[in-house]
């Protein structure tokens, strides 16, 4: 029997890149936040690992396939599921869709096969798939991410008001975005980033207007000026706007309209 599970998208309410680690990864500070846009996933027990996902030709490159392989290695036996994924979260949009799918399947596999793995153990497996997969394992809606994004501090936060999210119909490869950052070699001071984050969380909880920042914007907007134009359009319409993750999606809070963007891009609008 198939089980249906939703996998939510996320945005980065702000993101700072604070340096490069010896292993080649970059150190970040960010505020993750789950939003009400979901991939739909159906799973059932099977005699092998099968993953069918719209737009993904090779099973072995899918995050869910990788997650089940790593889970099988961890527990020392094959954890076999047949998985169907209906994509609603744009691939390469900085919204964490693939990571969310992997986390959702890890959680359901843990329950279906009665593995009894703790959140810490699941997170050890999840980070092998991707740096932000552990965030989606959390029951919390928001969390601070440190390290490469896997060092998580859950927080109680709901961002009230009007939301708009715009996907420009093309992805920004994460590796490319980080390579552009590295070519500049300019990072945000970690202490300054922590201070900004503290102010951001305080203002969001108090319902005040906040300053949203993303260190990827300058380099990504240079390479993909259309994304910068989307943000500028939102700002002109009164939206407090920033790019999510390494792009390409841009979201805004509490503006008035987005008429100039209709028909050109994929747009979601909701209120909380």
Catalytic residues: 10, 132
For residue 4, how far is the Cα from the chain centroid? 21
Place of tokens 């994004």: 149
- 250's tokens: 């841009």
φ, ψ of residue 81 in degrees (nearest 5): -135, 150
Which of 19, 12, 9 is CA-nearest to residue 214? Answer: 12
Pairing of strands 266-271, 240-243: unpaired
Pairing of strands 266-271, 3-20: unpaired
Distance (Å, whole) CA 166 – CA 248: 9
State the burial class of residue 207 (Cβ atoms within 10 Å of its Cβ: 0-12, 13-18, 19+).
exposed
């Amino acid at each position: 029997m198939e089980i249906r599970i939703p996998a939510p998208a996320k945005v980065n309410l702000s993101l700072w890149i604070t340096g490069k680690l010896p292993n080649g990864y970059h150190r970040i500070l960010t505020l993750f936040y789950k939003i009400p846009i979901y991939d739909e996933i159906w799973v059932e027990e099977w005699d092998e690992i099968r993953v069918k996902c719209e737009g993904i030709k090779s099973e072995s490159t899918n995050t869910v396939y990788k997650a089940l392989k790593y889970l099988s290695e961890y527990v020392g036996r094959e954890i076999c599921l047949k998985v169907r994924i209906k994509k609603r979260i744009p691939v390469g949009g900085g919204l964490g869709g693939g990571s969310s799918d992997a986390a959702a399947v890890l959680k359901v596999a843990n329950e279906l096969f009665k593995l009894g793995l703790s959140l810490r153990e699941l997170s050890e497996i999840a980070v092998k798939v991707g740096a932000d997969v552990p965030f989606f394992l959390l029951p919390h809606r928001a969390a601070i991410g440190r390290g490469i994004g896997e060092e998580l501090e859950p927080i109680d936060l709901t961002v009230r008001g009007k939301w708009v999210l715009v996907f420009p119909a093309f992805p920004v490869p994460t590796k490319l975005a980080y390579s552009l950052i590295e070519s500049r070699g300019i990072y945000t001071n970690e202490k300054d980033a922590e201070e900004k984050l503290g102010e951001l969380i305080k203002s969001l909880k108090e319902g005040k207007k906040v300053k949203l920042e993303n260190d990827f914007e300058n380099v990504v907007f240079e390479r993909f000026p259309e994304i910068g134009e989307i943000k500028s359009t939102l700002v002109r319409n009164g939206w407090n706007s920033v790019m999510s993750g390494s792009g390409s999606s841009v979201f805004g809070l509490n503006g008035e309209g987005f008429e100039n963007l209709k028909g050109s891009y994929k747009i979601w609008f909701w209120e909380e």
